[in-house]
Structure 1
Amino acid sequence: MRAVLVDDEPLILAHLEKLLQEIKGIDVIGTYSNPHHALQWIEQNQPDVVFLDVEMPELSGIELAEKVVRLWPQINIVFVTAYSEYAVKAFELHAVDYLLKPVKRERLAETVRRFQLDTAEQQPASSAPMVCCFQSLQFKQPGLDQFHTVDVRWRTAKAKELFAFLLHHRQKPVRKDIILDLFWPETDESKGFTQLYTTIYQIRKTLKSLGIHINIASHDNYYVLDLNEVKLDVEEWEKGIASLSPITPATLEEHQALIDLYEGNYLEDCGYLWSEGEKERLRSLWLNHITHVAQFLVGRREYPQAVILYNRAQEIHPYTEDSYFMLMQLYDKLQDRHSVELQYERLTCMLAEQFNQEPRQQVKDWYCHWSGVVL
């Protein structure tokens, strides 16, 4: 894995380079004290990871990261700084990690191991393609180094949704009359069946054009979708969750890698009402997992990393009170008063708008004690 280091302090830059040279699997191919020079080099060479100081003259690490991510969204960004208050901005830029100076070799090695694990997870385990349902419905084909997304042009929106519906019920019989009631409720039975058969034909034709060998078997009264050897991201993710070892310093990167594989809620972009139950089930599993990992980080006093995870949890599920309260307490530990106040304000607005409620008494009492203001 090729790395570039950017820090305006030469001694710190040399120290970080030395630490990384002692870690297997990473190759430092550039060090820069001038962020403008670093940006020019990154534009031309596209490294795998960029280690950035935050506070630099002329161009800050945050500004440099924004430019880099616009150019190459897949590049891994790691902030290395003496200041914890930039953790939220790092989260917004989807930074992979946030290291506080002075950097310890063990902590740096853990970050590198996470890169290696993420890369391994992204590699195709076999030549089998994959269907993805996190955030949106996509098809991915294996390449030399990683899966690549295939551009799919569905004949109709109905064909796309019916395929997603059969995929949702994979390996199980789905009655044709139920499909008619859901997809063509206002059409008489004869025309409805014609529409159904035509749409199934369109789906099969689309799958064939993609080289995706998913079988949709038709029986007298029902269809059955069989994935055959095609993988499904939801199933692969759930297998990973089920097989995880208990969280320890040695297994932390495995847990964090599975957090990252959850790219968004189940079929979020599609807006299918029939998928709401599964979306909530998978989201609950992910929230439970990310909370478990965040609490482990809090126990290790790695507060900036815990802040990043709780912010991700809040982004995926903004209507639960716990993430706001935990972030208030973490920002307090980081002595970031503005962010504590901002989280309480956001919580108050969210509860009023969504539920016509106020924060629970425990949260109000904590905030009153912290702020010295009686609410």
Structure 2
Amino acid sequence: MKILAIDDEKYALQLLVDTIRKVKPDAEVVPFRRAAQFLEYEDKQSFDAAFLDIRIGKMSGIQIAIELKKYSPMCNIVFVTSYSEYAFAAIQMRPSGYIMKPYTEDDIRNEFDNFRYTAAPEQKDDNRLKIRTFGNFRVFGRDNAPIKFSRTISKEIFAYLIDQCGYPVTSKEIAADVLEVEDFDRPTSKKVSQYVSDLIKDIEAAGFHNVIIKQNRQIQINKEAVNCDLYDLFSGDTSALKSYHGEYMIDYSWAEISDSAERIKSL
């Protein structure tokens, strides 16, 4: 587990880090006293939890949380402060917790015990493309680095294919469900083909091949080529079940009523 700790007061930060390490001795704790240090930190996408003081110089802990969520959407945010008047603004971030100073070791432990997101154990030596659908839709490649997509719509089509769980779909279905275009004419068909082609190029550029299968004018995901929390959940994986907290591909409106979403609700 990797944990971010930020407080602009030296001794307050040291106390926070020491307490976290007592509760989670095996965790990697990354401490900062200034917001600028966090902004310059390159590996923002790997945090499982963050304990943030709300008042940190010119930039607030709430602003840091917003920035952090761009890179680590499933990071558990816990605000730590002496100022109760910030509680309402902090709650709007939907954090995992809110602690008032002075706190105890049990307070910190309680936050860990009630985290909103539970990190699923990573499979060692798994070189497949990693897909995470719970919460935001995220795609990771080698060394857990986020995959870069040349088009936003191509990424959404990829999410749609993942949602189909290996079932083949046509360009017309993609146009209707993702592009929300009912009149499937020749220009629309060419657009979808280009989006899918760009998607395949993006994935192959990251070093992953045979993830998407195109045959007989149909497109589908090769389920064996991906490590996906949705597929783990459907296969009965208990860790995947624990990592699901009621949110599925919240980036896309079509995912709210998909067959996969309904199946998740029935579990």
Q: How does the TM-score come out when normalised to structure 1?
A: 0.45
Equivalent position of 1:121 in the other structure = 120
* 1:295 match: none
Which position in structure 2 is the counterpart of 1:211? 207
Output the CA distance in 1 between the equivalents of 2:41 and 2:175: 55
Query: For residue 99 of structure 1, what is the aligned residue in structure 2?
Result: 99
> Deviation of residue 94 (structure 1)?
5.2
Share of identical aligned residues, percent? 17
For the residues of structure 2 that align with 1:196 and 1:162, how far apart are their CA atoms?
Answer: 9
Question: Could you give the per-residue CA deviations for residues 270-297 of structure 1, whole angstroms, max 9, x where no partner exists?
Answer: x55xx55228936984xx99xxxxxxxx
Shift of 1:230: 0.9
- Seen in structure 2, the aligned counterparts of structure 1 residues 44 and 233 have a Cα distance that, compared at 3 Å, is same
Residue pair 1:184, 1:192 contacting (<8 A) in 2 also: no
| Superposed displacement of residue 263, structure 1 | 6.8
Please tell me whether the aligned partners of residues 173 and 224 of structure 1 are also in contact (alpha carbons under 8 angstroms): yes
Distance 1:19 1:27 in 2: 13
- SS of match in other structure, 2:140: strand
**3-state SS of 1:106 partner:** helix
CA contact (8 A) 1:53 1:61 kept: no
Measure, in 2, the Cα distance between the counterparts of 1:166 and 1:222.
11
Highest RCO, 1 vs 2 (Cα 8 Å, sep ≥ 6) = 2
Residue in 1 that maps onto 2:245:
259
Within 5 Å, which residues of 2 pair with 1:1-375? 1=2, 4=5, 6=7, 19-20=19-20, 22-23=22-23, 24-25=25-26, 38-39=34-35, 51-52=51-52, 59=55, 64-69=60-65, 72-73=68-69, 74=72, 77-81=77-81, 86-93=86-93, 95-101=95-101, 103-112=103-112, 118=118, 120-121=119-120, 123=122, 125=124, 126-133=126-133, 139-143=139-143, 147-154=144-151, 164-174=159-169, 179=173, 182=176, 185-187=183-185, 204-212=200-208, 213-219=210-216, 224-236=220-232, 243=238, 255=242, 258-259=244-245, 262=247, 264-265=249-250, 267-268=251-252, 271-272=253-254, 275-278=255-258, 281=261, 285=265
Checking the alignment, whether the CA contact within 8 Å between 1:2 and 1:28 is kept in structure 2 is yes
Question: How many residues of Structure 1 are paired with residues of Structure 2 in the alignment?
Answer: 250
- Paired with 1:163 and 1:5, the residues of 2 have a C-alpha distance of 36
* Contiguous gaps of at least 5 residues in structure 2: none
TM value normalised by structure 2:
0.58
Give unpaired runs (5+ residues) of structure 1.
32-36, 246-253, 290-375
Do the aligned residues in 1 keep the contact of 2:4 with 2:29 (CA within 8 Å)?
yes
More strand by share: 2
Kindly state the Cα deviation for residue 141 of structure 1 after the two structures are TM-superposed: 0.8
Q: CA RMSD in A?
A: 5.4
1:6/1:50 contact within 8 Å kept: no
Equivalents in 1 of 2:52, 2:137: separation in Å?
Answer: 34
Paired residue type of 2:164: H
Is the 8 Å Cα contact of residues 34 and 57 (structure 2) preserved in structure 1? Answer: no
Which string of whole-angstrom CA distances, capped at 9 and with x for unpartnered residues, describes residues 96-124 of structure 1?
A: 42124553423322435678x85x53856
Shift of residue 259 of structure 1? 2.8
What's the secondary structure of 2:60's corresponding residue? Answer: helix
1:98 & 1:141 partners in 2: Cα distance? Answer: 33
